[in-house]
Chain A
Amino acid sequence: MKKRLYSIVFMFALTFVFAAAVSAVKSYNEERIQTNQQVKLQRIILMVLGVPVHEKAPNQEVVRVYQRRVRSMDVKGRTLYVGYAEDGRSITGYAFAVGGSGFWGPVYGMVSVDPEASRILGLAFYRHSETPGLGARITEPWFVKQFAGLPLFPIEGDKKIFYLKPAGPGKGANELDAITGATGTSRAVEAFLNRDLDRFLRETWNSVKRG
């Protein structure tokens, strides 16, 4: 009986000590971890809006540029990031989050459109679990850069805003290169990005236009 009680007290004490130590370290670093995530998102937003920030720029620099050039607003429960020009008055574009299931897991990205919502300005994917070297190439510049300038209105007779087709010449304005060897990821990106862009145009953008 005494032995059992000792085991319980021992385990309790040990758990208390370790849990306290872990909690202490966590609360000490909490702010830093949150800032890291926030700044990461701000970097992505600035990048898709085409505001030049050096890749190695320190966090404070990113936050400073972000505060000057971007204001976020809430439209029907979705966050819209409004990009402003250097003067702080004229709008250069709108950015919003996109995402869906990829081939292996969720893919998170950010896309921006011009002030008339007629073309895509930029696109970036910042979190995913696609296969390195295959599906993970959605983050590579050659892939996301193709989206810049993509018209947002469906071309006559087309159901989707854009299509991903096997790489090669002779493609229409809304046909972009898919990733060779990553058909699953390409299809998934095509599906969720078309869906999110369409939803933006139908829901968010209408509210913005009405003011």
Chain B
Amino acid sequence: MPKPLSSTQIFLGGLWNDNPVLRQILGICSTLAVTNLLVNTLVMNAGLIFTVCMSSLTVSILRKYTPMKIRMMTQTLIIASYVILVDLAISAYLPDISEALGPYVGLIITNCIVMGRCEAYAKNNPPWPAFLDGLAMSLGYAAVLLIIAIIREPLGFGTLLGYRIMPEGFTPWTIMIMAPGAFFTLGLFAWFVRAKFPQTAEEKKQGH
């Protein structure tokens, strides 16, 4: 049995060493879809953080009672329930943002990070570390999305959180609003991080 991870290790893993977007390349679909406006990104992040934390916690609490063979089914059920709760909450209290995010809130269900953490960590660890792991991983995801949104919104719309920050004559880069703009931004960003701070043996070899 490996030694349990400390909270610091868990957080360092989620935010940096095993960052779900940059290192594991998970959750790319929503990263491309919701990062053209910072406000959408913030709401999406809140939704994902809630879903990952609560799903990890629930899966962990039930881990000793869940039969191995039907664990994926129970995980899907748990994740889907939390996502529906998030979707209901957003459409009841933030109708405009609900409209803007469209189907992407519901698609948190298919976000690989959620089930990935349930499978990789929560199903074998006690509730508190599982909750922290969910929090760390979703914060790692959120951080990357925020950075990409902060690059995309000013270049694509000339605004940040809806406030004009680019000079008057600035021509918005339409591509930054569309998915390809996110591909370029994310690709360059992941490349930069991996080249500058190599983690795996392969990355280290290529770096030299």
Binding site for B on A (CB under 8 A): 3, 6-7, 10-11, 14-15, 18-19, 21-22, 25-26, 29, 32-33, 36-37, 40, 127, 129, 131-134, 181
- Number of chain B residues whose Cβ lies closer than 8 Å to a Cβ of chain A: 29
The answer to whether B81 touches A22, judged by C-beta atoms less than 8 angstroms apart, is yes
Given contacts A22-B84, A36-B91, A129-B102, contact A14 B177 (CB under 8 A): no
Residue contact B99 to A10, C-beta cutoff 8 Å: no
- How far does the alpha carbon of A21 sit from the alpha carbon of B78 in the complex, in Å? 11
Task: Given contacts A29-B88, A131-B178, A132-B178, list 7 more A-B pairs with CB under 8 A.
Answer: A6-B67, A11-B70, A11-B77, A18-B78, A22-B88, A36-B95, A132-B37
Task: Indicate if the CB atoms of B67 and A10 lie closer than 8 Å.
Answer: yes
5 shortest A-B CB distances, which residue pairs?
Answer: A133-B177, A18-B81, A29-B92, A36-B95, A7-B67
**B66 contacts partner chain A, Cβ-Cβ < 8 Å:** yes
A32 CA to B93 CA, complexed, in Å: 8
A131 touching B177 in the complex, CB below 8 Å, given contacts A10-B65, A14-B77? yes
Given contacts A14-B77, A21-B81, contact A26 B67 (CB under 8 A): no
CB–CB A33/B88 < 8 A: yes
A18 to B74: give the CA distance in the assembly, Å: 10
Which residues of the partner chain B approach A26 to less than 8 Å between Cβ atoms?
84, 88
In whole angstroms, what is the CA distance A21 to B84 when docked? 11
Q: How many angstroms between the C-alpha atoms of A129 and B157 in the bound complex?
A: 17
14 contacts between A and B (CB under 8 A): A3-B67, A6-B67, A10-B70, A10-B74, A14-B62, A14-B77, A18-B77, A29-B88, A33-B91, A127-B99, A129-B102, A132-B36, A132-B177, A132-B178
Give the residues in chain B near A133, CB-CB below 8 Å. Answer: 156-157, 172, 174, 177-178
Most chain B Cβ neighbours within 10 Å, of A15, A22, A26, A133: A133
- Chain A residues contacting B93 (CB-CB under 8 Å) are 32
How distant is the Cα of A25 from the Cα of B90 in the complex, in angstroms?
A: 12
Q: Is the pair B36, A14 in contact by a Cβ cutoff of 8 Å?
A: no
| B residues in contact with A25, CB < 8 Å | 85, 88
Asked whether A134 lies within 8 Å of B174 as measured between CB atoms, the reply is yes
Q: Which positions 61-79 of chain B face chain A at CB distance < 8 Å?
A: 62, 65-67, 69-70, 73-74, 77-78
Enumerate B114-158 residues with CB–CB distance to A below 8 Å.
156-157
A22 neighbours in B (Cβ, 8 Å)? 81, 84-85, 88
A19, B78: Cα distance in complex, Å: 10
Residues of B within 8 A of A18 (CB): 77-78, 81
Measured in the bound complex, the distance between the Cα atoms of B69 and A32 in whole Å is 40
Which residues of A sit under 8 angstroms from B89, Cβ to Cβ? 29
Q: Tell me the bound Cα distance from A134 to B65 in angstroms.
A: 52
Assembly CA distance A36 to B99 (angstroms): 11
Least Cβ distance of B85 to chain A in Å?
A: 6
A25 to B85, CA, bound (A): 7
- The residues of A that contact B66 with a CB separation of less than 8 Å are 10
Residues of B within 8 A of A29 (CB): 88-89, 92
Task: For the complex formed, measure the closest distance between the CB of A169 and the CB atoms of chain B, giving whole angstroms.
Answer: 22
**C-alpha spacing A25/B156, complex, angstroms:** 38
In the complex, A190→B193 CA distance in Å?
47
B100 → A minimal CB distance (Å): 9
B67 contacts A14, C-beta separation under 8 Å: no
Residues in A with CB closer than 8 Å to B85 are 21-22, 25
Given contacts A14-B77, A18-B81, A133-B172, contact A7 B70 (CB under 8 A): yes
